[in-house]
Amino acid sequence: MVLDERRMQRNRQRLEAERDRLRQELDRLTAVMDDRERPGLSTHMADHGSEVFEQAKNLAVGERLRETLQSVIKALQKMDRGTYTVCDRCGGQIDPARLKALPHATLCKPCQALMERAPRSR
């Protein structure tokens, strides 16, 4: 089973929209963090502990946004190359139902499960 042209077009649109949204989100996050670093700006009564916590949370959120953005960009590049439905790891076909649910998937289900279980390789 392959992804038909119409589904492919729809996924491309979804990916492009997602890419733009993620970039905006990252910009916003960066702006917020820049603001916090400027001294004297936070006149509200927030204690230092929660500031640090906020900062750490923003960093974690930013990290996750960047990772998703990478996948989205990769998926779009694969589309351009005509290898969108091919798994990056084993070269097999990614289940179309999976791509429908997760347009930025670049691995087939078994490979994704393997990658998530395996410790990060250096």
Contacts with Zn ion by CB under 5 A lie at: 87, 89-90, 92, 108, 111
Question: CB of 112: closest distance to Zn ion in angstroms?
Answer: 8
DSSP 93: B
Contacts of residue 36, Cβ cutoff 8 Å, sequence gap at least 6: 42, 51, 54, 55
Question: CB of 86: closest distance to Zn ion in angstroms?
Answer: 9
If the CB atoms of residues 99 and 111 are measured against Zn ion, the closer one turns out to be 111
**Cα 58 from Cα 29, distance rounded (Å):** 7
Question: CB of 76: closest distance to Zn ion in angstroms?
Answer: 19
If the CB atoms of residues 22 and 111 are measured against Zn ion, the closer one turns out to be 111
* Paired strand residues for 93: 86
